[in-house]
Amino acid sequence: MTDTVATLAVEPRLNRRQAAKIRTRQKVLDAARSLFAERGYEPATIRDIAKGAGMSTGAVFANFQDKAELFEAVLTEDMTRLAEVVEAAAPKGEPVRQRLVTALSAGYHSSLDQLPLFQAIVARSWFQPLAAETRARAV
């Protein structure tokens, strides 16, 4: 189940416009994630992200103030998903060491396909450190 579908399922009272806005935002996030992973943060442009999402640049800016906010949203979404995978994998009732090994293994395996995106995150933080509050939210 995608995040968009999950969001729509959780909030069934959304009108068509609200549902369309959620779908648009998710398309932009998905396109941005792909381009950040493929090209890195700096070379990925809002224009290219919009094109990848099949949207206008206005649709991107209707959802995100700038590229930095979009990057933060991608990072937050991915870290939330990773935390859920790790938590779900940790067997309840097992010794702490076994839970930790299982959780870390699940996190590692679920993030293998995101290695290019993690490289973009590290590269950006090396040259343009995120604000302390942004780093705190991502963790």
| Residue 103, pLDDT score | 75
Q: What is the pLDDT of residue 122?
A: 66
In this predicted structure, what is the pLDDT of residue 1? 42
Question: Can you give the pLDDT at residue 70?
Answer: 96
Q: Residue 23 and residue 45: Cα distance in Å, rounded?
A: 21
Query: How many domains does the chain fold into?
Result: 1
| pLDDT tens-digit readout, 23-82 | 999 999 999 999 998 888 889 999 999 999 999 999 999 999 999 999 999 989 988 888
Residue 13: per-residue pLDDT: 84
More confident residue, 129 or 65: 65
The pLDDT assigned to 8 comes to 47
What CATH number is attached to the domain comprising 38?
A: 1.10.357.10
Distance in angstroms (rounded) separating the CA atoms of residues 65 and 15:
24
Global confidence as pTM = 0.67
Lowest model confidence (mean pLDDT) among 9-23, 30-44, 78-92, 109-123: 109-123
Q: Output 56 or 93, whichever has higher pLDDT.
A: 56
Question: Residue 86's domain spans which residues?
Answer: 3-138
Using a 10 angstrom Cβ sphere, with 0-12 exposed, 13-18 middle and 19 or more buried, the burial of residue 119 is: middle
Neighbours of 92 (CB within 10 A): 5
